[in-house]
Amino acid sequence: MFETLSTGNTAAGSRAVPPASAGGPEIAPILPRQAKTVRDTGLEPRFVTDLVLKAIQAGGKTPLTQLAGKLRLSISVLREVLNPLIAEQQVEVAWCGESDIDMQYQLTAHGQRGAVDALARCGYVGPAPVTLASYRAVVERQALRHADAERITSAQLAGALGDDGLSQAARDVLGAALYARRSLLLYGPSGGGKTTLARKLGRLLPGSIAVPYALMAGRQVIRLYDPAVHAAPPPVARQQEERRSCDARWIVCQRPLVHVGAELGRDMLDLRYDAEQGVYHAPPHLQANNGMLVLDDVGRQRIAAAELLNRFIGPLDAGTDQLSLQGGQAELVPFDAAVVFATNLAPTSVFDDTALRRIGYKADIGAWSPGAYRALLVRQCRLRRIDVDAAAVDHLIERLHRQSGRALLACYPGELLERIADFAGFAGTEPRLTIAAVEQAWRSMFIACATETQK
């Protein structure tokens, strides 16, 4: 589903992507081609020179291979930069081995002053960034929205959801939203499993993508790659020759799943400058490119729901967003993500009719049926190796839930079993799902109301 296999002209330093092999993603079809010269990087020569000076200053006596690994630049690019620096007596060869790669470099006193000047211009030291033009081209060819992209099937959705207790109507809405690659609103009571469901939908996005460590916007660096967001793909066989031909400024990862909740504020929707590191940090939706963005707890954030919707739906339709740098400079960046809104508030209290029409699909994620709830409880008991008393299951569903008026929500079985295990551990006994254990766990979770105690 969704992986773009289009070909055509791309930005400098990248190439068209043929379909991935059946055996899994390979480096060569995904990553852009390696930059052989400074010009190929798309970066200003002065910036690359500064980056080399800062990296050597930070590392002291620095092997050439270590410098290449730190900056993610090819040996040929580094030599193109180092040779003039040596001629200018800013850098000197500290040690030389038997091969032309086995070399170490260090700064001279003149080079130390140059590194200080370079840090004053930009404090960033790390993988060389890629240009926005190159990034736009790669995001476009990996885009979710292409008409010829692979579409989700009912079998794939069923396999991902498993026995989640969702009604067929809800499953059909989820499938249609993913098939059409349109925005989705999940609504229902807290604890109904909306967040877990959204993450399962995110894992349905197939294939691997290329993500740069950093971007160059004007003369500013934007740190994009985050290992917590851009997870490594499953291991596959890769040829060393392919690695050498690929641009190491990019990394192969799974399609990202970015989740933000009530902590989301207006300030998080734009670039954030880190003066200490001399770099901007990418906002969540930029990190979510070519993947999924889950906006949870809508209506409870530090930004109005209508403003949040307007912030994303327009750029999503256009495929681009505008982000601001210090000084008022604006940069156009690509925006390609499956956007999922989730709320435990009534949708009509969060969005007006016009706003609701702009969201592609809406799915009610509510209470489970007694049969599905029972199956979930038994399944979680097995996973935790907790013995099950059938009478205790009946007591929970038919008495405790019914008398309290609490819906059969997906969160309750796990929370109850955690408490049963806690009480048993404290008592020095093996946990068991009995009527007494369920009653004890239930009372520890909820404050009984007057009508409930009277029953």
Place of tokens 């001629």: 87
Residues 171 and 236 in one domain: yes
Verify that 257 and 117 share a domain, yes or no: no
DSSP character string of 70-108: HHT--HHHHHHHHHHHHHTTSEEEEEE-SSSS-EEEEE-
| pLDDT of amino acid 7 | 30
Tell me which of 364, 389, 409 is where a domain ends.
364
If asked whether residues 109 and 58 sit together in one domain, one would say yes
pLDDT at 9: 34
Task: Return the pLDDT at 278.
Answer: 87
Q: What is the CATH number of the domain that holds 440?
A: 1.10.8
For position 26, what pLDDT does the model report?
52
Q: Could you tell me if 204 and 163 lie in one domain? A: yes
* Residue where a domain terminates, one of 78, 99, 123: 123
Q: Is 248 left (phi over 0), alpha (psi -120 to 50) or beta?
A: alpha
Q: What is the pLDDT of residue 140?
A: 92
Same domain as 392, residue 255: no
Domain for residue 14, yes or no?
A: no
Same domain, 376 and 401: yes
Q: What is the helix, strand, coil percentage profile of the chain, to 5?
A: 45, 20, 40
CATH number at residue 74: 1.10.10.10
Residues 71 and 99 in one domain: yes
Measured in whole angstroms, the distance separating CA 381 from the mean position of its chain's CA atoms is 31
Q: CA of 202: how far to CAs of 2, 174, 178, 288, in Å?
A: 12, 12, 10, 11
Residues 79, 199, single domain; the answer is no
- Report the candidate in 442, 445, 374 with the shortest Cα–Cα distance to residue 408: 374
Task: Please give the Cα distance from 440 to 51 (Å, whole number).
Answer: 62
Position 226 in a domain: yes
Q: What is the chain's pLDDT, residue by residue, as a tens digit (455 residues)?
A: 333 323 333 333 333 333 333 344 455 468 999 999 999 999 999 999 999 999 999 999 999 999 999 999 999 999 999 999 999 999 999 999 888 889 999 999 999 999 999 999 999 999 999 999 999 999 999 988 777 777 888 899 999 888 788 888 999 999 999 988 899 999 999 999 999 999 999 988 888 899 999 999 988 999 999 999 999 987 754 444 355 689 999 999 999 999 999 899 988 999 999 988 889 999 999 999 999 999 999 999 888 998 999 888 889 888 999 999 987 889 999 999 999 999 999 999 999 999 999 999 999 998 999 999 999 999 999 999 999 999 999 999 999 999 999 999 999 999 999 999 999 999 999 999 999 999 999 999 997 544 444 44
Does residue 412 share a domain with residue 296? no
- Predicted confidence at residue 450, as pLDDT, reads 40
Query: Of 123, 157, 180, at which residue does a domain stop?
Result: 123
What does the pLDDT read at residue 97?
A: 87
- Both 323 and 432 in a single domain? no
Q: What are phi and psi of 399, to 5 degrees?
A: -115, -60
Identify whether 11 is part of a domain.
no
List the domain range (segments joined by +) for residue 374: 370-454
Question: Which CATH number is 274's domain given?
Answer: 3.40.50.300
The structure tokens listed for 150 are 């692979």
Asked if residue 205 and residue 268 are part of one domain, the reply reads yes
Give me the phi and psi of 323, to 5 degrees please. -120, 150
Question: Would you state the pLDDT for residue 151?
Answer: 81
Helices (H) and strands (E) in the chain, counts: 21, 19
Number of domains in the chain: 3
